[in-house]
Amino acid sequence: MKKSRLFKIILAFFLAILLPVLSVTIFEVIQQDKKEALLESIYQRQLDTILFAVNQNCYDNFNSWVIKLSSYFLKQPKALSQPEMVRKTLRNFVQSYSSIQGAFLRTNIGQYVTFMDASLPVARNNELSAASLNEIEEIIIKDRQAILTMTDHAVQGYVNPHIIKWQKVENAHKTLLLFPLVNIENANKILTLAGIFIDDRTFIEEIVGRKFNSMQESSFIFAVRDTSSGEMIYATEHVESDIFERSEALWIIPSLQLEIKLAGTTLDEFTHVQTRTNIIFLTIINIILLSSIFYIIRYVYLEMLLAQKEKDFVANVSHELRTPLALIRMFAELMEMGRVRSEEKKQHYYKTIMAESTRLTQLINNILDFSKIESKRKTYSLKPTNIRMLIMDILDFYQYHVSQKGFKINNNLELNLPRVLLDAEAVKQAVVNLIDNAIKYSNGNKNINITLQQKDSAVILSVQDFGLGIPVSEQQKVFNKFYRVENSLVHTTKGSGLGLTLVKNIMVQHRGQVTVKSKVGEGSTFSLIFPIDLKNGAQNGRNIDH
Ligand code: ADP
């Protein structure tokens, strides 16, 4: 077989499939760290976006409060100059939102109208204490610049509160949001300065918590931490470790920070698993690819081998046909010309013609049977047979051919064997093939032993030679079609590589088997094992041989 063709096929597979996939795998492995870092940064950004959305939501809430307040005074502009009306509005406003604990308006001339929830520690009769008012005034003076900028922004339509942490009593976490109240339909018109007191914890529970829960696909855990004490004041579920992947200050209450992490894993672990899964997946693909390529190459190789063997077969068979035909023709011509005078020579020629035509028939039978077996048309008709008689007939018929080649067959055929269910023609063909091989591969040793014996529930016919022998590694292969052992004789001894294939098939059809025992340089013994049904053996009968 052309080795270069196989090499080209392997090279094509390597270049077209293996090389790209292997390169991708190697690239993936080399890039693993970089990919992990990239993946991690992508996930981090995603987590940041989620926190941003929560913050934005808090701001939207604040804006809705601002709109609510300003729209009231916009509808009733005169109410602003009536403190009782303002106070009533503020009360309604404060009581509508559980996280708002108080609100006030400050007119341009520094007058305050307030409504405080009783729960606010600084409240007296729902009014903000004078001390607190003073404090607010001080803040307004101190943060004048910031409040002016805020007012400018409000005029442009962006209301950003000026945020003050209001912790006058221990453990009372409040935040004061100062903002200008503007006419939303005419931003230039600033109505007044307003303030809202919010209770941090209620704000977190009500507004932040609600947002967390609406966003929380089970893959995230959210928390809120007090940055000054480091204490975690809220979490969407119980967490063992309080190390969170990402955090961001809460815009509305900057002393608190929003935190987020993946549920059940860390970002680091998560990205590591992702990239590792990728590599494992690629490795599996590589293995599958390699094994299928190995399988395909093996298949192609075997097919090429078979094609080569078929070619050899044609050459061998042509040679095998030509040699006996040439002999037959030569002897027939000699006889026809009447040149052969001596009776003895004539007999010799006749016998040669007979023997060669027998060999031809044998070869042709092998080929025809093989093709019948291949197309599943071969049928066998099994009959209870005296196998010893059958073997004797074969030997008688074959004797001349064998002795002419200088071979001696020693037979040891047991008497009175049970009848064996067999197809006589097929078994004859099998035995002739074995004797033929014993002659062909005799390597100069011209003894052949044939034994027939019963062993338990089998009758065994063995053909033993003392010739070339078969290496152990080849002993099963010789039964494959067209298979011929590579040795010096294979080129000089012609054969089709079909003989033993037929023998094996014949034995399978007899529910028996063919075995080989062989040693290189010492010879081979092929045995045909016919099973006998001991119960039905009685029915088939036993031979009475003499
Ligand atoms: P072939 O026509 O080549 O003889 P067979 O199928 O009969 O085909 O045998 C297959 C191969 O097995 C042979 O080519 C030979 O190499 C090996 N072989 C068969 N019988 C013997 C034997 N008795 N001794 C040594 N080698 C044998």
Using the mean position of ligand 1's atoms as its centre, give its distance from the Cα of residue 201 in Å: 96
Q: What atom in ligand 1 is closest to the CA of residue 496?
A: 2
Most distant pair of Cα atoms in the chain: their distance: 159
Using DSSP's 3-state secondary structure scheme, residue 117 falls into: coil
**Residue 379 shares a structural domain with residue 260:** no
Out of 202-206, 369-373, 379-383, pick the least confident: 369-373
Residue given tokens 């339509």 in the structure block: 157
- As a whole number of angstroms, the distance between CA 496 and CA 318 comes to 10
- As a whole number of angstroms, the distance between CA 126 and CA 101 comes to 10
Q: Find the angle CA(206)-CA(210)-CA(213) to the nearest 5 degrees.
A: 145
**Residue 239 shares a structural domain with residue 370:** no
Q: What integer is the mean pLDDT of 148-173?
A: 82
| Paired strand residues for 113 | 105
In three-state form (DSSP H/G/I as H, E/B as E, the rest C), the secondary structure along 425-472 is: HHHHHHHHHHHHHHHHCCCCCCEEEEEEEEECCEEEEEEEECCCCCCH
Q: Which of 404, 393, 288, 304 is nearest to 354 (CA)?
A: 404
Q: What integer is the mean pLDDT of 124-132?
A: 80
**Predicted pLDDT at 170:** 62
Does the structure show a pLDDT above 80 at 399? yes
From residue 30, alpha-carbon distances to 20, 27, 38, 284, 459 in Å are 15, 5, 14, 17, 68
Does the structure show a pLDDT above 60 at 369? yes
Mean pLDDT over each residue of the chain, to the nearest integer? 85
Q: Which of 115, 66, 100, 52 is nearest to 206 (CA)?
A: 100
Q: Is the pTM of this model over 0.75?
A: no
Last residue of a domain, one of 238, 267, 296: 267
pLDDT confidence tier of residue 370, bands split at 50, 70 and 90: confident
Token pair in block for residue 15: 């270049």
Contact 421, 385 (CB under 8 A): yes
Using the mean position of ligand 1's atoms as its centre, give its distance from the Cα of residue 486 in Å: 10
pLDDT confidence tier of residue 488, bands split at 50, 70 and 90: low
Q: Which residue has the higher pLDDT, 359 or 92?
A: 92
Using the mean position of ligand 1's atoms as its centre, give its distance from the Cα of residue 468 in Å: 10
Out of 1-5, 342-346, 419-423, 519-523, pick the least confident: 1-5
Does the structure show a pLDDT above 70 at 489? no
Q: What atom in ligand 1 is closest to the CA of residue 479?
A: 6
**Predicted pLDDT at 62:** 94
Residues 6+ away with beta carbon under 8 Å from 417: 386, 387, 388, 452, 453, 454, 459, 542, 543, 545
Q: Which residue has the higher pLDDT, 155 or 329?
A: 329
Contact 387, 426 (CB under 8 A): no
Q: What atom in ligand 1 is closest to the CA of residue 485?
A: 16
**Predicted pLDDT at 15:** 83
Query: Of all residues in the chain, what percent are helix, strand and coil, respectively (each to 5)?
Result: 55, 20, 25
Does the structure show a pLDDT above 60 at 187? no
Using DSSP's 3-state secondary structure scheme, residue 223 falls into: strand
Out of 29-33, 130-134, 146-150, 391-395, pick the least confident: 29-33
Rg (C-alpha) for the chain, rounded Å, is 53
Contact 35, 272 (CB under 8 A): no
Last residue of a domain, one of 243, 267, 291: 267
pLDDT confidence tier of residue 185, bands split at 50, 70 and 90: low
**Predicted pLDDT at 454:** 95
Backbone conformation region of residue 438, classed left if phi is above 0, alpha if psi is from -120 to 50, else beta:
alpha
407: in domain: yes
Q: Which of 443, 449, 441 is nearest to 474 (CA)?
A: 441
**Predicted pLDDT at 1:** 52
Domains identified in the chain, total number: 2
Q: Which of 124, 122, 102 is nearest to 114 (CA)?
A: 102
232: in domain: yes
Q: What atom in ligand 1 is closest to the CA of residue 442?
A: 24
**Predicted pLDDT at 240:** 72
Q: For strand 220-226 and strand 232-235, is the pairing parallel, antiparallel, or unpaired?
A: antiparallel
Q: Which of 31, 26, 33, 36 is nearest to 286 (CA)?
A: 26
**Predicted pLDDT at 537:** 54
231: in domain: yes
Token pair in block for residue 493: 């001894």
**Residue 374 shares a structural domain with residue 504:** yes
Residue type (1 letter), 155: V
**Residue 263 shares a structural domain with residue 371:** no
Percentage of the chain modeled with pLDDT above 90 = 36
Mutate which of 323, 363, 429, 437 for ligand 1 pocket (most atoms within 8 A of beta carbon): 437
Q: What integer is the mean pLDDT of 367-384?
A: 85
pLDDT confidence tier of residue 309, bands split at 50, 70 and 90: confident
Residues 6+ away with beta carbon under 8 Å from 77: none
Q: What integer is the mean pLDDT of 411-417?
A: 93
Distance of CA 27 to the CA centre of its chain: 20
Residues 6+ away with beta carbon under 8 Å from 309: 481, 482, 483, 484, 497
Does the structure show a pLDDT above 60 at 288? yes
462: in domain: yes
Contact 201, 173 (CB under 8 A): yes
Residue type (1 letter), 463: V
Residue given tokens 């947002």 in the structure block: 211
Using the mean position of ligand 1's atoms as its centre, give its distance from the Cα of residue 520 in Å: 13
pLDDT confidence tier of residue 358, bands split at 50, 70 and 90: confident
- As a whole number of angstroms, the distance between CA 467 and CA 441 comes to 6
Ligand 1-lining residues (CB < 6 angstroms): 433, 437-438, 440-441, 465, 467-470, 478, 483-485, 490, 495-501, 524
52: in domain: no
458: in domain: yes
**Residue 394 shares a structural domain with residue 529:** yes
**Residue 371 shares a structural domain with residue 515:** yes
Using the mean position of ligand 1's atoms as its centre, give its distance from the Cα of residue 454 in Å: 26
Using the mean position of ligand 1's atoms as its centre, give its distance from the Cα of residue 478 in Å: 7
pLDDT confidence tier of residue 535, bands split at 50, 70 and 90: low
Residue closest by Cα to atom 20 of ligand 1? 437
131: in domain: no
Does the structure show a pLDDT above 70 at 163? yes
Using the mean position of ligand 1's atoms as its centre, give its distance from the Cα of residue 313 in Å: 13
Mutate which of 320, 476, 483, 500 for ligand 1 pocket (most atoms within 8 A of beta carbon): 500
Out of 261-265, 384-388, 421-425, pick the least confident: 261-265
**Predicted pLDDT at 529:** 97
Burial class (CB in 10 A: 0-12, 13-18, 19+), 379: exposed
Does the structure show a pLDDT above 90 at 413? yes
483: in domain: yes
Does the structure show a pLDDT above 70 at 121? no
Does the structure show a pLDDT above 70 at 281? yes
Does the structure show a pLDDT above 70 at 405? yes
Residue type (1 letter), 403: S
**Predicted pLDDT at 2:** 59
- As a whole number of angstroms, the distance between CA 545 and CA 368 comes to 34
Contact 39, 270 (CB under 8 A): no
Does the structure show a pLDDT above 70 at 536? no
Q: What integer is the mean pLDDT of 374-380?
A: 83
Does the structure show a pLDDT above 90 at 23? no
Using DSSP's 3-state secondary structure scheme, residue 376 falls into: coil
Mutate which of 484, 490, 494, 525 for ligand 1 pocket (most atoms within 8 A of beta carbon): 484
Q: Which domain holds residue 230?
A: 206-267
**Predicted pLDDT at 342:** 86
Q: Which residue has the higher pLDDT, 186 or 95?
A: 95
Using the mean position of ligand 1's atoms as its centre, give its distance from the Cα of residue 430 in Å: 13
Last residue of a domain, one of 267, 292, 307: 267
From residue 408, alpha-carbon distances to 98, 353, 435 in Å are 118, 21, 11
Distance of CA 312 to the CA centre of its chain: 42
**Predicted pLDDT at 220:** 86
pLDDT confidence tier of residue 169, bands split at 50, 70 and 90: low
16: which DSSP letter?
I
- As a whole number of angstroms, the distance between CA 389 and CA 408 comes to 20
Q: What integer is the mean pLDDT of 170-177?
A: 82
pLDDT confidence tier of residue 437, bands split at 50, 70 and 90: very high
**Predicted pLDDT at 415:** 92
Using the mean position of ligand 1's atoms as its centre, give its distance from the Cα of residue 446 in Å: 16
Could you read off the pLDDT of 58-113 as tens digits, one per residue? 999 999 999 888 888 777 777 777 888 888 899 999 999 999 999 999 876 778 88
Contact 524, 469 (CB under 8 A): yes
Q: Which residue has the higher pLDDT, 176 or 170?
A: 176
Q: What atom in ligand 1 is closest to the CA of residue 316?
A: 2
- As a whole number of angstroms, the distance between CA 329 and CA 164 comes to 125
pLDDT confidence tier of residue 297, bands split at 50, 70 and 90: confident
Q: What integer is the mean pLDDT of 430-436?
A: 93
- As a whole number of angstroms, the distance between CA 54 and CA 334 comes to 114
Q: Which of 512, 506, 503 is nearest to 455 (CA)?
A: 512
